[in-house]
Amino acid sequence: MILGKKITVVMPAYNAEFTLRRTFEEVPREIVDDVILVDDASKDRTVEVARELGIHYVVHPKNLGYGGNQKTCYQEALRRGADIVIMMHPDYQYTPKLIPAMAGMIASGVYDVVMASRILGRGALKGGMPKYKYVFNRFLTATQNLLMRQKLSEYHTGYRAFSREVLLRLPLLANSDDFIFDNQMIAQAAFHNFRIGEISCPTHYSEDSSSINFRRSVVYGMGVLGVSLQYALNRLKLARSRVFHGEDRKISTFAPQEIPKADELQL
């Protein structure tokens, strides 16, 4: 815990057998109260390794996609009483050693969302990020900042922290079940005026790191631009999209027992 807040780490997993143990062993258990792995119908021993490590896990009987996996992650974390949720991939691309800093930024009441940025500093290329992905990342981020009037260094990191309030208030279930989920979630947080902070994070690319190929990267990029344009139109009240206004798609709507008491939210 930090300042009385229960810290939960969630790991959306798919074929993470060879990196899960190393990732888990670096999680600072002196402050992390709960670790949850959601396995998206892996074809390897991911679940067996999670069981050996004593990690609480949930298994999807069929593959629901990266976004669908995260939806389960957040619902399970809230169900188990999380106050601050850290989402990180179990592929050891990001170091768990930053968890105390990220959780502290939220527990202190300064931020509602914290993103570990590979772009701040020199962590991306030095850590092995392919150059085409780096250029793609910079282009998309610059375009998103322009359309969404934000000043983030990147929107595409897979290492993020959220307060309980954020997870309960955003219409997360309206989001895609694919990779674009991450981008929709940050756009939603900005749209609803949650405070978003960043922290510099080194990264490590290896053969076992999760990644999408060039074709899917292009599809993802087009989706990102679509989300940013949708954000701008909703801000200008020229559209009313369910992703930003879907009151019926909040996690709390589908899990009434998780709706916090009035004195628990600082609105």
Evaluate if residue 33 carries a pLDDT over 50: yes
- Over residues 104-127, the mean pLDDT reads 84
Q: pTM here?
A: 0.87
The backbone torsions φ and ψ at residue 154, rounded to the nearest 5 degrees and listed phi first, read -165, 150
Q: Which residues pair with 200 in a beta bridge?
A: 117
Number of domains in the chain: 1
Domain assignment of residue 217, given as a range: 7-255
- Rounded CA separation 5/40 (Å): 28
50-54, 120-124, 156-160, 184-188: which has the minimum mean pLDDT?
120-124
3-state secondary structure of 32: coil
Q: What pLDDT score was predicted for residue 262?
A: 30
- Over residues 237-262, the mean pLDDT reads 75
Q: Is residue 37 assigned to a domain?
A: yes
Q: What pLDDT score was predicted for residue 255?
A: 54
- Across the chain, mean pLDDT equals 88
Evaluate if residue 54 carries a pLDDT over 60: yes
Q: What pLDDT score was predicted for residue 211?
A: 57
Evaluate if residue 35 carries a pLDDT over 80: yes
Evaluate if residue 214 carries a pLDDT over 80: no
The backbone torsions φ and ψ at residue 259, rounded to the nearest 5 degrees and listed phi first, read -70, 125
Percent of the chain with pLDDT over 70: 86
Contact 79, 10 (CB under 8 A): no
Q: Is residue 118 assigned to a domain?
A: yes
Q: Is residue 267 assigned to a domain?
A: no
Q: Is residue 2 assigned to a domain?
A: no
Q: Is residue 152 assigned to a domain?
A: yes
Q: What pLDDT score was predicted for residue 266?
A: 39
Q: Is residue 266 assigned to a domain?
A: no
58-67, 95-104, 132-141, 174-183: which has the minimum mean pLDDT?
132-141
Tokens describing residue 14: 């798919």
Q: What pLDDT score was predicted for residue 167?
A: 97
Q: Is residue 261 assigned to a domain?
A: no
CATH number of the domain at 87, please: 3.90.550.10
- Rounded CA separation 18/176 (Å): 28
Evaluate if residue 112 carries a pLDDT over 80: yes
